[in-house]
A and B are shown apart, each in its own frame.
Chain A
Amino acid sequence: MKLLLKYLKPFTLTILICIAFLFVQAISELQLPNFMSDMVNNGIQTGGIEEGAPDAISEEGMNLIQLLMDKDSQSIINDSYTLIEAGSSKADQYKSDYPAVKDKNIYVLTETDQDKLAQTDKAYTQATYALTLSLEDMAGEINAAQGNTNSNKNANLSDVDTSKIYEMLPYLTQLQQAGKLDKYISLAAEDDSMAAGQVSTTFTRIFYKELGVNLEQIQNHYIIIKGLQMLGLALLSVVASIVVGWFATKVATTASKNLRKDVFKKVMSFSNAEYDKFSQASLITRSTNDIQQIQVLILMGIRMICYAPIIGIGGIVMALRTTVSISWTIAVAVAALLILMIAILSIAMPKFKMLQTLIDKVNLVSRENLAGMMVIRTFGNEQFEEKRFEKANDHLRKTNRFIQRTMSFLMPAMMLIMNLVSLLIVWVGGKAIADSTLEIGDMMAFIQYAMQIIIAFLMISVIFILVPRALVSAKRVQEVLDTELIVTDSHEVQHLSNPKGKIEFDHVSFRYPDAEESILENISFVAKPGETTAFIGSTGSGKSTLINLIPRFYDVTGGRITFDGIDIRNLPQKELRDHIGYVPQKGFLFSGDIASNIQYGNSEATEEEIWKAIEVAQGKDFVEEFEEGIHTAISQGGTNVSGGQRQRLSIARALIKKPPVYIFDDSFSALDLKTDAALRKALDQYTHDSTVLIVAQRVSTIINADQIIVLDKGKIVGKGTHKELLESCEEYREIAESQLSREELA
């Protein structure tokens, strides 16, 4: 996590931009149901007429509603409306909207102040509601008087002709003067249900109709405007999310690029000790796959981890704004989802972790079978292997099946919860609608908010699966970056002015990090320029380790190694290695061609020098056989040349450096005896002034060395020439006897 933050820090601003646009995206997404709600509530149910005061009303209408207002409301209304007299010059400009202005005086809404408009709306709404209440009562009285019990109680107000209502004007005026309408006014003022709003739109429709307004046009206009607004929002949302995508990919790819670079650099600075610690395969995965995982995490992280809470919380806020009374349904949904997710994850997770081990096991057996094909067939154990494989395979199958079964529960269960929640909302919402505390459109919007919240949770559940994996990767990468280098350049560096190449081991001991025992103990010897010093001993005797201490692939843990008298730990690594020609145990070549590989030792080497080095390394014959000579391409790992050829080329690479010190780490064992012999002969001449250090397996390789050091279990057990050692050193004699015939020993 720390690692992620560190690499994301340079992108703080970009990420903030992303989050800002995520907000834009979330808000647009969340607004859509709101608009749909308007569409249903106003566009469809009330024919595109919004609640509140109408834009115009006839004089008679005005008189009518004023009857059902208290004094305050009347003055508000009077302030807000302006009278337009029929046939007046002003009337002309309203002719198209309100055709009735020709022969009727009308009032038009001219107030622009928002607060006052709100008051006007309220006054109008209450008045129409009071009017309805009074009309209902009157209708009841009339019916009762007429004994008409079967009357049309569902009188459809929208069909009512205004003229019929105006007929009642004088009667209502009387009632008003008698104060009999007051109870309706106060009743309407007390009722805060949504019924009033809906009644007001009904009356507005009636009044508009009276004025000859084209109602259908109003509705269509309303629907199209809302639709365009919705479309605009949708567009805004998609643009925002594309912008997020643009910046998020930038952050993710750049951060992972930087990370990859830093890891690579770090690994390049590792010494063998660190390589051993991690293993090469693991380092490769850490530099490639693991970083790729992190890139995915960052990308998804910005797009989902940041988005989910925004949309989730936004959804909750919007839902609460719509209505509080049924919000508990969302809490129920979220709780159910959480329980489901935790349950399934806790069942599947342990198996998930097991899965990788089982896959590894199947891989292992297949790998073993491929590698050991010859042995398996020789012993006729094919069936045995197949059974072994089946066993591993069966484990894998069972675990996989369990996981798949568990996961196949997840989706249907989530869908079920989503569906049940929307049913719950319809039921609870229905009750609320019946109580007039909720409108249908709002309920529909609420369902959509609920879905958005649930989807946010689904996203979070995906994150739960993604994040742990990526965090494991991040941790692995972090380990690489945090590794403290064991071999570092000293603060007080010394330099070699005219290197001769005298190497001296002074009571050197070495212990691998975390090892219990030293692999080298108390090693002292001097390797002089112009001489060959050879090391022989059983595996594990420490001869390769010893020789790898000289180029500081490891640093000694006791005593010191000097190069021309200077402790090599005081020499910069680069300078030290510049004076050493090193040939590793396994011939390693880079992709490129033969020339580029040899020039790796000395980039300024001429073609002539290259050929010379190849010749000394006994590679001339085979290189000449290649059609393209030293320009023959070498594939990665040098797989297109044989092991012996690879080894000879890597010897040539060291030779071309012409350094004062040569190290051959068991470099001859891949060569046949004949080539080995020829090579040694040629080397003797080529390296005559240099210090040569050779690790060997074969006695024949070192038989002529000036000094042979026999190692056993990390200690020097013999030092001298072949002849001397045959007499003085039992271990050496044993080795020699096992390799050479009696005549040769004599």
Chain B
Amino acid sequence: MSEGKQPRRHPGSPMGRMQVEKAKDLKGSLKKLASYLNPFKWYLFLVAILAIAGSVFSIVGPKILAKATDELAEGIKNMMLGADSGINFNYIGKIILLLIGLYVLSAAFMYIQGYFMSNVATSVSYNLRNSIMQKMNRLPFSYFQKNSQGDVLSRITNDVDLLEQSLSQSITQFLTSVASIVGVFIMMLTISWKLTLIALGMIPVSMILIIGVVKLSQKHFNNQQKYLGRVNGHVEEMYGGHVVIKAFNGENQAVQDFEKENEKLALNARKAEFLSGLMMPVMGFVGNLGYVVVCIVGASMASNGKITIGDIQAFIQYVRNFTQPITQLSNISNQFQRMVAAAERIFEFLNEEEEKDENVKYRVKDLPIQGNIRFEHVKFGYHPDQVVIKDFTAEIKAGQKVAIVGPTGAGKTTMVKLLMRFYDIKEGAIYIDNYNINNFSRQDLRTLFGMVLQDTWLYNGTILDNIRYGKIDATDEEVMEAAKMAQVDHFVKTLPNSYHMELNEETSNISQGQKQLLTIARAILSDPKILILDEATSSVDTRTEVLIQKAMDKLMEGRTSFIIAHRLSTIKNADLILCMKDGDIVEQGTHEELLAKGGFYANLYNSQFDKVS
């Protein structure tokens, strides 16, 4: 499907986590994210208040505790000097009770805040996932030709996951960090402006160190990602081709190549991990530095009686609390960047242009459609500058069979895709019973069609569910009736749980041929006016193939059918043969007409069976 275009190599590989991606349109993405957050604005408001209140309450703690320490110090001095007043435990007890109240409240606030925030985060991601899913079903086919499946999948899982985590963490952390910084700053000021100045002096120091470490490690981290990608790519490729490797004795070469990449990876990983590991100790040192300076200055101030012991104790705690939120903020900014980048990818997808139904004039159920089809000067190309179908005109009567033949990769499914409006034609028109297909809504138009493809798509559900897929509101009886017509009833009854057998996630617990039969049953149930069939049954055993053939014949009775034909009998009996080459219809006519013409078809036909004749 995606010729020429290289899909993203490792969409959303879990190692992507350390890379900070920059958002292209920060404001736009945030705005859209805000619209998803809007229904929860009262929650968020409450969360903000609780987070701020919670952190303020815990910030006041040390300052109040300082009073208790001071009382102890004072009491001791008195005792030492023989005064009998001693330590006032009544007073200390009151302070402690007050603090218990504060701390419990603070913890309660933080918990309630987290509780609400988890509601918001999980709901937002739930809504986003649903939106992506809905979007997926509304995007034109061409989108998926340009973008890999992995890319879409990665948005629905990795990006939404990242967003969810960031939402629940970074908003709270941001609020509490800012509240802490402001709160701690104020509390420090109330103790001593001199000491506060010293503590503030630590900020530039820590900033410089943080930026230095980040800058150093970032480069190596990117390298680590790069080499990790290479090693993973090599592993993927080699495991994928292991049969070939074994057959050609390529194991040693593979291991040698691997070792080269592995060596580079280890070297870069070591540098990256070491450098990024510097952050913690360095920040710890900055913290200790502040601690020591405060101790020195504070002690000399206390000796002059300018400050109490309790205040020093409180201040030391504040200094420790001051550096932590600053480090945290720098982490949050990284996380925030990643969150916005993820949001951007999600919204980029959600913003893709959807298939639009314009000029809807008819509804299928209002019309007595027979199944006559007319192509009139159809012109089409997947890319604007590359026209593959130049000028195609044909008329097919209701109930006729059209065989599409041509070499692999000739674009045999193109016609089908045009007919069902998976792609829109550039020029010309296609009519069904004289109604231009562009005047139906896509979904409505497609109800006319049934489809049995070589790539049998079934889903993780029971056999009953899977056949019912052709007509969601069909009763069990209708489903089984269709199953009988499609020759599946017999084999289904031999399965454990029969119709209620659950197909596994890879739908590999029934054989390829059985799957094909199920898709035929599905198509019979949907009772379409027009059929699309792919005859290629290369991976089906011959006996099942006979069954499939019978079922398909049954299915085609009385319906206009387009058959991607491989079987000569089908081709010969077709009312019209379309010969495809390089995406274009090079010849059309009946078997005899085309043979007589002695062109592409005649050549194709003869070359295949020349040895027989």
Contact = CB atoms under 8 A, between A and B. Distances in A.
A636 B237 contact: yes
Interface in B390-449: 406-410, 420, 422, 442-443, 446-447, 449
B247 A378 contact: no
Interface string B273-286: 11001101110110
B512 interface: yes
Contacts of A704: 611
Given A44-B302, A672-B407, A405 B243 contact: no
7 contacts: A40-B309, A132-B82, A230-B291, A265-B255, A415-B106, A430-B92, A434-B79
Contacts of A571: none
Given A241-B281, A245-B277, A253-B269, A268 B254 contact: yes
B286 to A, nearest CB: 9
A219 B303 contact: yes
Contact of A413 (B83, B89, B107): B107
A577 B408 CA distance: 31
Interface in B1-43: 2-4, 6-7, 9, 14-15
A15 interface: no
A636 B296 CA distance: 64
Contacts of A385: 133, 137
Nearest to B603: A674
Q: Interface residues of A: mostly helix, strand, loop or mixed?
A: helix
- Which 5 A-B pairs rank lowest in CB-CB distance, beginning with the nearest? A538-B541, A408-B114, A404-B118, A234-B288, A582-B247
B111 A253 contact: no
B213 to A, nearest CB: 11
A191 B288 CA distance: 38
Contacts of A371: 149, 457
A359 interface: yes
A420 B273 CA distance: 37
A292 B15 contact: yes
A584 B241 CA distance: 10
A574 B249 contact: yes
A591 B450 CA distance: 39
Interface in B496-552: 505, 511-513, 519, 522, 526, 532, 538-546, 549
Contacts of A223: 295-296, 299-300, 303
Interface size class of B (residues with CB under 8 A): 35 or more
Nearest to B99: A423
A598 to B, nearest CB: 11
Nearest to A36: B295
A171 interface: no
A551 B243 CA distance: 10
Contacts of A698: 538
Q: Interface residues of B: mostly helix, strand, loop or mixed?
A: helix
A416 B104 contact: yes
Contact of B409 (A260, A295, A397, A643): A643
B192 interface: no
Contacts of B274: 245-246, 249
B309 A675 contact: no
Interface string A198-236: 110010000000000000100110011011001100110
B149 A412 contact: no
Contact of B284 (A238, A382, A415, A738): A238
Contacts of B539: 539, 669, 697
A734 B542 contact: yes
Interface stretch (A280-288, A346-354, A493-501): A280-288
A420 B6 CA distance: 59
A136 B247 CA distance: 102
A724 B20 CA distance: 69
A231 B291 CA distance: 9
Given A366-B153, A436-B79, A539-B540, A267 B239 contact: yes
A48 B303 CA distance: 9
B69 A440 contact: yes
B381 interface: no
Q: Which of B118, B280, B449 has the most CB of A within 10 A?
A: B118
Interface in A633-682: 635-637, 639-640, 642-644, 650, 653-654, 657, 666, 669-678
B144 interface: yes
Contacts of B65: 422-423, 426
B285 A237 contact: yes
A359 B157 contact: yes
B45 to A, nearest CB: 18
Given A257-B262, A393-B129, A636-B236, A676 B608 contact: yes
A378 B447 CA distance: 7
